[in-house]
Structure 1
Amino acid sequence: MASTSNALIGRTGWLLRQVGKQVWLRTVLFSVAAVAVAVVAAIISPYLPYQPDLTLASGSVQSLLNIIASSMLAVTTFSLSIAVSAYASATSNATPRSTKLLLSDPVAQNALSTFVGSFLFAIVGIIGLSAGVYDARGRVLLFFSTLVVLVLITLALLRWIDALGRFGRVGDTIHRVERATIEALREAGARPGLGALPQRSAGPGAIPIRHERTGPITHIDCGALQEIAEDNDLRVYLQLLPGSVVHPNRTLLYVEPSPGDAAREELRDCFSIDRNRAFDHDPRFGLVVLSEIASRALSPAVNDPGTAIEVLGAALRALIEYGAALRGAEQPCYDRVFAPRLAADDLFAMLFDPIVRDGAAMFEVLARVVHCVAALRDSDPAVMGEAAQSIAGHALAYGEERLAMPWERAALAAIAAEQGFAAQ
């Protein structure tokens, strides 16, 4: 069953995805390509089978390269300062956990990569022209390569200018977190328990496996667990999901029968443990970050209930997507691995409880919470009904305690009753 095409991404693929999100990778690739173009133009020009009609003096091409070199250095420095300011803005106005998404923004990465690569292309071209390594045909190739680079610079600048108006703003940050959370929730809903069988208790002779590292789990290679179990005739009982914090005294999984030392190390290697949580396979983290943004907006220093209401809208869309994915969930594809499922009450608690607590004195926030959980209950009563009732009860209890005006408390109770929630 492990060979199914629906298997979750393995450890190697996940690591490649993480590397692909790093800004240095695109910068290095574009820079290497740009330098290679400038060098190749000098190498292949003697072997061209024709003599171009266009003739260029070395100074005409060098003037263009001088402009690119001087301007790109300034633009790169300016763009980096803007990016750093955006990261600082997201940290202070939203939450520090959201800066991961800004750092992996493809528009910003492409812009910086294009600017740095163009600068290096111009420098290598100037050096080549000064050293006389380009003949007439080489200067023509370099000229047309320079035109292509100018087009790439223009496109990158236009996209970067379009993105600057919203890059790092609170609304943009909420949208990025929402997209990352929806992607993780869709995956979790489509393949509950990482594609493993539903969790069940291990036998009395099961062996606990722990890890020597401490930190949150960022990825579990369930396909590798299945292969190890098949090769060693084991059954694996996962105890944790991505996002859970592990330490040397916390059990990752139980295995039966007892595996050999080599198999135990292989089982541990299926877990990626980092210092910080990641959005990719941890939908709970996305909900926590959304809740943090709302809590900061509701703090007395900020006092911005509108942002909290915007977060609630984003969370509503994300959880509705999760319910839709869960209704169309695929069959488990790993028959030797058992794993827990995400619990709706946990998802609701980590998202809504901090917002209800910090917005307890604001009628509009509590009312929006009640409307949101009612919509989620109606979208999937079997999965989310009990959790929605619990959060609505919390909102009513906080409102009764913290809302200043009697009419606000009465209005909140009326809204809850209209949505079918009874006070607890």
Structure 2
Amino acid sequence: MKTMLCKALRPLMLGALLASSVVHAEVVPLDRVVAIVDNDVVMQSQLDQRLREVRATIQKRGAPLPPEHVLTQQVLERLIIENIQLQIGDRSGVRITDEELNQAMGTIAQRNNMSLDQFRAALAHDGLSYDEAREQVRREMIISRVRQRRVAERIQVSEQEVQNFLASDLGKIQLSEEYRLANIVIPVPDSASPETVQAAARQAAEMYQQLKQGADFNQMAVARSAGDNALEGGEIGWRKAAQLPSPFDTMVGSLAVGDVTEPLRGPGGFIILKLEEKRGGSKMLRDEVHVRHILLKPSEIRSEEATQQLAEKLYERIQAGESFADLAKKFSEDPGSKLNGGDLNWVDPESLVPEFREVMNNAPQGQVTKPFRSPFGWHVLEVLGRRATDSSDKFREQQAAQTLRARKYDEELQAWLRQIRDEAYVEIKQ
């Protein structure tokens, strides 16, 4: 990743220098170094491009831009940190193939409900080059894999930590059942007379009876609710019981999906709630997959290409009849499943990284997949079975473990970034 002058430009620059000794002419620099970072540099063109992207993002949010010198300093620091991580990735043999990069660009376009051509046009409209965007995605993929190796893989969450979190007040709140709700508000002014309150109560009772007889809640909310969400059919989104005012906080847990509450006096008037949907809680059917895999990780010793080739050879050997379990025990670099012949047992697909989950979900049972890449390395997998099971307790434990792991990852990542920044040689060129 060394940055160096193109040989073809050197005679031109030399001629410009000689001419400047005779004629004072305006010299337009092609580019310049703004920071030396260990064995690489950050160029002014990189800084300018990132500044354009950041300004566009801030302006889209409608937020004011910070002072130019502050923004430049922050963006330059971000580029320096990225550069350090890219150099770590380069030394570690992290490579992103064209196929992986094309797939990533296609995924980004799909998430924005665009074709690839529409995505190119949208970038051009924002003043961004598709090639520049593609290069930035490549950098981000490399950085993600570096962080996975250096940070995520060394984070451990113990069973005791999980149980302590589940027993804590914070854990109970974060993992409690959630409800998607809609409401109808019949307003009552703060200074309303008893007659006005009674009239509102009668109106609310009449609406409640109509709803119990099958009236459409969302249509009634649009037509008759005084809530600020009336035009959305009364939709107020997902809420936990603890986020609801009393007595709705205790009532909502006993509702079935589709039920409505009796009108109750609340802030601003009488309120009728409808339970549209709920998730979490004490019972939950989850799809589980019984899967085994062989994991191969690129390293300083084995390049990305060599790792992919080894995965393809193992796939061919399995197809030729060799034992999946025996090859996993010999070659797999997943310490958690290696000794079990690559068997991950029954897993919740949502607990897996998207790249692994997608291949696993599309794999026919009993058929070995072709090698594919995830942030952990190259995999070959086989689905041994599928089932739906009530895994409420297990799911809650997985949620708790993911919450704790994410918290530890954020803390560990920030500490690691400070460490590599402190250890790097950085010289800012003014």
TM-score, normalized by length of structure 2? 0.22
More strand by share: 2
More helix by share: 1
